[in-house]
Amino acid sequence: MTARNQNDALTLAIPKGRLQDRTEELLRSRGYEIRFEDRKLVATDPGGQLQVMLVKNSDLPTYVHHGIAGLGVCGTDGIYESGYRFFTLMDLPFGKTRMCLASRADYRPEGDVHRLRVASKFTRFAHDYFQERGIPCEIIRLDGSVELAPVLGLAPYIVDLVETGSTLRANDLMVIEELATVSVVLVANPAYYKFHYKRIDALVDTLR
Amino acid sequence: MSNQRLRIPQGTEAFYLEEAYAHRELLRQFEDICSSWGYLPVQTPVFDFHDLYRGIDDETAKSSYRLVDRDGDILVLRSDITLFLARQMGMIVQQQDLPVRVYYGDTILRHEDSNDLSKNEFFQIGAELIGTAGVEADAEIILLLLETADGLGASTSVLHLGSRALLRESNRSEKFARAIEARKWDEASRLLADEGADPQRIDSLIQLYRFIGTAGELRELISESIDLQPAEREALRYLLSLADELSAVGHGDRFRIDLSEVGDRDYYSGIVFHLYDEGADAPVASGGRYDELLGHFGANTPSVGFSLMLRRLQSQLPSADLPRTPHPETAGSGSFRDRVRNARLLRAQGKVVRL
């Protein structure tokens, strides 16, 4: 409920995992040295400007929406899935990827296909994408290893993030269509931005 | 049934004891402030005919609960007091009564997503000045809101002041309004280009709607060679004269002009504002001018007002700042009759006494 903190630093949530190192590296290069002590998930830079919280990628939008962190580093895919509205302050120079529709390379639909059956972690995105185009679609939610779905016969199609395509190739899958570009962005809780806009704009200028 | 005992329907809330006491005290403080400003209370009904509100405000319609009465009429539960109040005032205000100053405080019922139960949009307090247009009426409502915020303990809050009138002169599409409100500048630029605006004009408008700052900084911006229509300049002049009035009465540090504030309700027609407070995850209050709203309900008269989500404000005030329940004294240790007599005496001295 609150993004107050004792030293008045701006609060920023960053995701654990593949984006953590790149985000810390960017912050370091701009003078914000963030060191998480052993097993701790909150750290403040020595200058006291930025308090950084390390959270699970999929939970990050929730923390920002509720103002626990005023700012967040997150993929546009995760923000879309959350359904929350944030101010997007800037694109970050890493983590660009593609949201793709894929299937087995040898898959041939039999007869007329009236309804796509798609497995995905990104169910909101997949639902909206096909609905906006008037394509009937059945979405099956999976939480990981989505590429297994066509291999094991759960669904002939998947919607998933594709970076190099090596995971797809290793499972004899191929991209049928690129549905969207996904980037990593710095977002702000709108009310937090409005209250702290000067300091946040200055931070964005530093990060650019 | 047993499962339902542990659940509460989404969009409802109950609170108890100390928390309810603090809520009532905050409400009483608000009522005292409004009374001292010469505002009178109004009470709106819990539900009304749905069709009366059709087409006035899509956002409210999306979050409203509807039901069917025994005659088959569709009813809508009160989800925004401003709308229900406009309907009531539309029925009763007469030209000779104007201006009318009213305040309210009541529960509202809104649908909330299952993953978003912390919005605290359960109890709305607010005030309206009906029947007067112009800078002084707008300033009065803003000053009353700021005094309310101070009185309730949110003295660090800051008001962001924008203009729906300005937006109406630039582009009337709702998509454009939503892009500006979300500060999606690429999308706003694209919408302007789709309507044939040239690059210089697009650049000027984006520069304008990005603006957050003081009246002095806005004057500086619009004195530059920025491509604005006369009606847009007029809307800005109005905003600046309002800002001057607020500064002249000592509130220069409590507001910022923020032209991305365009109002999240379709019925706004003039100034619009949100009140932000340190630590709150959403604005604690909002408001503006809606000169055409009462006309939908039979009274063609201007109106300006604010509403504040009291439970949201209460939830983020430090607990030490909240009204505390008094510690009652005991009425002694005699017989019941003696204790009643003693309690009456002590209560007459203003003490809180428990039998």
Whether A115 and A150 share a structural domain:
yes
Whether A111 and A149 share a structural domain:
yes
Our CA angle for A187, A190, A195, nearest 5°, is 115
Interface probe for A, chosen from B259, B277, B281, B286 (most Cβ of A below 10 Å), is B281
CB atoms within 10 A of CB B192: 22
Which chain A residues are Cβ-neighbours of B115 within 8 angstroms?
62, 83
CB atoms within 10 A of CB B89: 24
Whether A167 and A197 share a structural domain:
no
Whether A122 and A172 share a structural domain:
yes
Separation of alpha carbons B45 and B66, rounded Å: 14
Q: Are B75 and B68 in contact (CB under 8 A)?
A: yes
Q: Which of B182, B278, B281 sits opposite A189 (nearest CB)?
A: B281
**Residue A7: per-residue pLDDT:** 54
Residue A39 placed within a domain: yes
Q: Which of B182, B274, B283 sits opposite A85 (nearest CB)?
A: B182
Separation of alpha carbons B309 and B285, rounded Å: 6
- Residue B196 predicted with pLDDT over 50: yes
Whether A116 and A168 share a structural domain:
yes
Which chain B residues are Cβ-neighbours of A191 within 8 angstroms?
276, 280-283
Separation of alpha carbons A124 and B264, rounded Å: 24
Residue B336 placed within a domain: yes
Which chain B residues are Cβ-neighbours of A3 within 8 angstroms?
279, 281
At A2, the pLDDT band (50, 70, 90 cuts) reads very low
Q: Which of B158, B258, B281 sits opposite A67 (nearest CB)?
A: B281
Please give, rounded to a whole number of angstroms, the shortest distance from the CA of B257 to a CA of chain A.
11
Q: Which of A65, A66, A194 sits opposite B276 (nearest CB)?
A: A194
Whether B90 and B110 share a structural domain:
yes
The residue from B220, B239, B262 where one domain ends is B262
Tally of CA atoms within 13 A in the half-sphere of B99 that contains its CB: 18
At B172, the pLDDT band (50, 70, 90 cuts) reads confident
- Residue A4 predicted with pLDDT over 70: no
Mean pLDDT of all residues in chain B? Answer: 92
Separation of alpha carbons A86 and A13, rounded Å: 14
Mean pLDDT of the B154-179 span: 92
- Residue B33 predicted with pLDDT over 80: yes
Which chain B residues are Cβ-neighbours of A62 within 8 angstroms?
115
Whether B98 and B170 share a structural domain:
no
pLDDT tens sequence across A62-117: 999 999 999 999 999 999 999 999 999 999 999 999 999 999 988 887 765 678 89
Interface probe for B, chosen from A84, A194, A197, A205 (most Cβ of B below 10 Å), is A194
Under an 8 A CB cutoff, do A1 and B279 touch?
yes
Which chain B residues are Cβ-neighbours of A67 within 8 angstroms?
279-282
CA quadruple A155, A156, A158, A164: dihedral, nearest 10: 140
Whether A39 and A115 share a structural domain:
no
Residue B268 placed within a domain: no
Q: Which residue has the higher pLDDT, B171 or B239?
A: B239
Please give, rounded to a whole number of angstroms, the shortest distance from the CA of A182 to a CA of chain B.
16
Mean pLDDT of the B342-352 span: 96
Whether A83 and A102 share a structural domain:
no
Residue B269 placed within a domain: no
Whether A102 and A176 share a structural domain:
yes
Whether B64 and B140 share a structural domain:
yes
Whether B31 and B141 share a structural domain:
yes
Whether B241 and B299 share a structural domain:
no
Which chain A residues are Cβ-neighbours of B113 within 8 angstroms?
83
Whether B117 and B75 share a structural domain:
yes
Give the domain CATH number at A121. Answer: 3.40.190.10
How many domains in chain A? 2
By percentage, how much of chain B surpasses pLDDT 90? Answer: 79
By percentage, how much of chain A surpasses pLDDT 90? Answer: 86
pLDDT tens sequence across B86-116: 999 999 999 999 999 999 999 998 876 655 5
Q: Which of B280, B276, B221, B282 is nearest to B254 (CA)?
A: B276
Whether B315 and B225 share a structural domain:
no
CB atoms within 10 A of CB A124: 14
Q: What residues of chain A have any CB closer than 8 angstroms to a CB in chain B?
A: 1-4, 62, 65-67, 83-85, 87-88, 189-192, 194-195, 197
Q: Are B162 and B255 in contact (CB under 8 A)?
A: no
Q: First vs last Cα of chain A: how many Å apart?
A: 29
Q: Annotate chain A with three-state secondary structure.
A: CCCCCCCCCEEEEEECCHHHHHHHHHHHHCCCCCCCCCCCCEEECCCCCEEEEEECHHHHHHHHHCCCCCEEEEEHHHHHHHCCCCEEEEECCCCCEEEEEEEECCCCCCCCCCCEEEEECCHHHHHHHHHHCCCCEEEEECCCCCCHHHHHCCCCEEEEEECCCHHHHHCCEEEEEEEEEECEEEEECHHHHHHHHHHHHHHHHHHC
Residue A4 placed within a domain: no
Whether A83 and A113 share a structural domain:
no
Whether A114 and A172 share a structural domain:
yes
Separation of alpha carbons B162 and A39, rounded Å: 45
Whether B121 and B3 share a structural domain:
yes
Whether A23 and A85 share a structural domain:
yes
Give the residue from chain B lying closest to A2, CA to CA: B279
Please give, rounded to a whole number of angstroms, the shortest distance from the CA of A118 to a CA of chain B.
24
Give the residue from chain B lying closest to A86, CA to CA: B182
Instruction: Using the Cα atoms of residue A2, residue A8, residue A9 and residue A10 in order, give the sign of their dihedral.
Output: positive
Whether A151 and A189 share a structural domain:
no
Under an 8 A CB cutoff, do B281 and A192 touch?
yes
Give the domain CATH number at B82. Answer: 3.30.930.10
How many domains in chain B? 3
Whether B288 and B352 share a structural domain:
no
- Residue A152 predicted with pLDDT over 90: yes
Q: Which of A67, A83, A194 sits opposite B160 (nearest CB)?
A: A194
Which chain B residues are Cβ-neighbours of A1 within 8 angstroms?
118, 279, 281, 315-316
Q: Which of A4, A65, A190 sits opposite B279 (nearest CB)?
A: A4
pLDDT tens sequence across B324-337: 999 999 999 999 99
Whether B170 and B291 share a structural domain:
no
Residue A113 placed within a domain: yes
- Encoded amino acid at A172, one letter: D
Whether B182 and B256 share a structural domain:
yes
Model ipTM value: 0.91
| Owning domain of residue A81 | 10-95+183-207
- Residue B5 predicted with pLDDT over 90: no
Whether B131 and B10 share a structural domain:
yes
Q: Could you give phi then psi for residue A160, rounded to 5 degrees?
A: -155, 165
Which chain A residues are Cβ-neighbours of B116 within 8 angstroms?
65, 84
Mean pLDDT of all residues in chain A? Answer: 92
Residue A2 placed within a domain: no
Which chain B residues are Cβ-neighbours of A83 within 8 angstroms?
113, 115
At B13, the pLDDT band (50, 70, 90 cuts) reads confident
Instruction: Using the Cα atoms of residue B194, residue A190, residue B284 and residue B251 in order, give the sign of their dihedral.
Output: negative
Please give, rounded to a whole number of angstroms, the shortest distance from the CA of B34 to a CA of chain A.
27
Place of tokens 């819990």: B46
This prediction's pTM: 0.92
pLDDT tens sequence across B245-290: 999 999 999 999 999 999 988 899 999 999 999 888 899 999 999 9
pLDDT tens sequence across A108-147: 877 656 788 999 999 999 999 999 999 999 999 999 899 9
How many Cβ contacts (< 8 angstroms) between chains A and B? 51
| Owning domain of residue B140 | 1-155+277-324
Cα distances (angstroms) measured from residue B334 to each of B100, B286, B342: 54, 55, 9
Under an 8 A CB cutoff, do B281 and A1 touch?
yes
At B36, the pLDDT band (50, 70, 90 cuts) reads very high
Residue A162 placed within a domain: yes
